[in-house]
Each structure stands twice: as structure tokens, then as C-alpha cells.
Amino acid sequence: MRQLPTVEPSWTSAIIGHLVFTAALLLTVIVASGSIANSNVIVALLAVSIPALVAWLYIESTAWVGPETMCRVVRAVIIAVAATCSFSGFFLTIWSFSRLAAFLVLLQVPLWYLIISTVAYLRGDAEAGR
């Protein structure tokens, strides 16, 4: 049986995808601000997250982080601001339309984590058995 080549996951492509999604969500909320509750808060959160996502993309694409403690702290702060603000803005957008959908999104996060972790664990056992 022919073995398919494996592709190493890239943080850069994931961050670019999330950055594009966040920018699109920001523009959508700005355009529809009259019909979205708390649109000012959502716009503020998403607007703060975009520069942080760009900084995170820069750090990951240039291998900027070194062994120094300050580099790790700066990277952790950038990631925390980017993730917290963008996911909070996304969650508030869903919350303004449907409380049930927001609750289901919160339930899906640990569920998908468990599914992905289980598959990765089983995959590791299968590769170890070869």
C-alpha cells in the first residue's frame, strides 16, 4: 500500500486563517451594527485582536522567540491578547443572536479537543506498532 506523505502542521497558516476570519467578522459587525446587540464591545474586541494576531504571525513566521525569558513572556502576552479578544468577540457575536448557539459553541470546544486528542493518541499507538 502506498504511503501518503505527511504534512507538518504550520502555525503560520492557522494564524493567517484566523486573522482573515477575525477581519471578516469585524467588517460584518461594523456593517450590521444596528442589528447586533453590544456591537461597540464586539468591534472593540475584534479591533484589538487584529494587531495582536499580526504580531503573533510575525513572531511565528520569523522564529523571533529565543530562549530568553522576556521573549517567552512577550510571546505569551501576544497570544493571550490575540486569542482572548478574538474568541470573546466571536462568542459575543453569537450570543447576540442566540443564547443556545453560544452555549453549544462552548460545549463543542472540549468535545472537539477530546476527539482530536483521542485520534492523535490512537494514531500514535498505531504508528508505534509498525
Q: Looking at the structure, do residues 67 and 127 belong to the same domain, yes or no?
A: no
pLDDT of the residue at 48: 97
pLDDT digits (tens, 9 = 90+) for 24-73: 999 999 999 888 888 999 999 999 999 999 999 999 888 776 778 888 89
pTM: 0.78
Sign of CA dihedral 60, 64, 67, 72: negative
Q: Looking at the structure, do residues 110 and 59 belong to the same domain, yes or no?
A: no
pLDDT of the residue at 91: 94
Total domains in the fold of the chain:
2
Range of the domain at 16: 1-97
Q: Looking at the structure, do residues 91 and 102 belong to the same domain, yes or no?
A: no
Contact criterion met (CB below 8 Å) for 103 and 70? no
Contact criterion met (CB below 8 Å) for 53 and 22? yes
> Residue 2 pLDDT > 90, yes or no?
no
